[in-house]
Amino acid sequence: MKSLTFGFEHLEHRYTYLTKNIPTPIPVENRINLVDCLRHKYGDDFAPHPQMKSFILLQGELPRSFLMGEEESACFGRMEFIKMNASTISKVQFFAYAISLALKGKLKTAGSSLSCTRFRRHQVRCFMEQEVRHGETEVYAGVQA
């Protein structure tokens, strides 16, 4: 959401252009970039590129109305606004679902970090747990097939 092409500034500009009104500003400190959050928690390789499509596929099936950016642009050019809107809604619904999975610790990623991770070609889940031995806490990683 930091990009001028896809970010908050783009949304503000589009809103102003379409409505001729100034949008309510969202202070920078209140903006959340979900990709930054995912990279912080699961590593830079949380999903292969194209990341949005790959990330959705890691969680299950691609929504029927999902369109890639180029496809959405083509729909705009053909004035297929209902298809564009359906694609946008499917992405918003997916991210709400992904956030709920993350909060439950059930989000699947392709990265190699050790927290609720499913590796690229394996149905393997890695986890980190704390173990207390003789008054000292140790962290160990385990692999579960």
Q: What's the whole-number mean pLDDT along residues 31-47?
A: 87
* Number of residues in the chain: 145
In the predicted structure, residue 43 carries a pLDDT above the cut 70: yes
How do residues 65-111 score in pLDDT, each as one tens digit? 999 989 988 998 999 999 999 999 999 999 999 989 988 989 999 97
Q: Which of 27-36, 65-74, 126-135 has the lowest mean pLDDT?
A: 126-135
In the predicted structure, residue 124 carries a pLDDT above the cut 50: no
Please provide the average confidence, as pLDDT, over all residues in the chain. Answer: 77
Q: Is 42 left (phi over 0), alpha (psi -120 to 50) or beta?
A: alpha
- With tokens 């596929």, the residue in question is 57
pLDDT in the model for residue 80:
95
In the predicted structure, residue 137 carries a pLDDT above the cut 90: no
Report which of 112, 53, 117 is spatially closest to residue 87, judged by C-alpha positions.
53
Q: Which of 19-28, 33-42, 45-54 has the lowest mean pLDDT?
A: 33-42
Crossing angle between the packed helical segments 81-104 and 51-59, to the nearest 10 degrees: 60
